[in-house]
Amino acid sequence: MASGERPDAASDVLTMNTGRWFQSRPPGRRLTALWIAVTAACSAGNPSDQPAATTVPVPSIAPQLDAAEWQKLWSGIPGSAARRCVHVKNRTDVRSNSFIVGNFRSYRDHWDGTIERSKLYYIPLSPEQTAPPLAISAEPLDGKPEVRPVVWRGTSGYAHGKGGPFYATGTLLAHRGRWRLIATAGRNWGCFDLTL
């Protein structure tokens, strides 16, 4: 670079690490370089939407389950490990506390109000030897009244797949709109805000 020539914005951020260029500039230029670095760091996405790196116990009821796959599943799915409701948005699978639920994308695309087109899977974080009953309640968030707040209650047991034990259900909702689904099974709980 020739004497007196200004580096580009990418060079500003890189040179900031050494401190020489950063410290030799007027305060206004320093703030601009700092703003670029902060903006780049923050543009990675909303932290609440990013999966938290967690280690979860591998269920003993599924001896064929690959421990690495189980850890990858529970640390890679977007959502939250906290006990709170999460927004499904346009995602396929979402985690809320101790449930991973999906395939929301297929559910939205093919929903027609029938049980055959209203299927979701619910993967519990803590499955038990004998599957506790799964209960799913649905609350409309758009003001339309719902006469059947419980959309599923059953003891059909687990289905098993590569991802481990899961509940296969029909989650039958009365109409399109905004819904809050709350799932419970034993000590497992999850809450999902879905726009159908």
pLDDT tens, residue by residue, 6-58: 444 333 333 333 333 334 444 444 333 333 333 333 333 444 455 444 577 66
| Structural domain contains residue 4 | no
CB proximity list for 8: less than 8 A, separation 6 or greater = none
Closest residue by Cα to residue 1 from 10, 37, 24, 11: 11
Domain around 16: 9-42
- Output the domain CATH number for residue 165: 2.60.40
| Structural domain contains residue 159 | yes
| Pairs from 154-159 (Cβ < 8 Å, separation ≥ 24) | 155/131, 156/131, 157/131, 158/127, 158/131, 159/121
- Band of pLDDT at residue 80, cut at 50, 70 and 90: very high
| Structural domain contains residue 2 | no
Count of domains forming the chain: 2
- Express each pLDDT in 117-143 by its tens digit: 889 999 999 988 888 999 999 999 987
Strands 85-87 and 188-195: parallel
State the pLDDT at residue 155.
63
Q: Are residues 19 and 90 in the same domain?
A: no
3-state secondary structure of 141: coil
Q: Are residues 31 and 74 in the same domain?
A: no
Q: Are residues 173 and 81 in the same domain?
A: yes
Q: Are residues 38 and 93 in the same domain?
A: no
Rg (the chain; Cα; Å) = 23
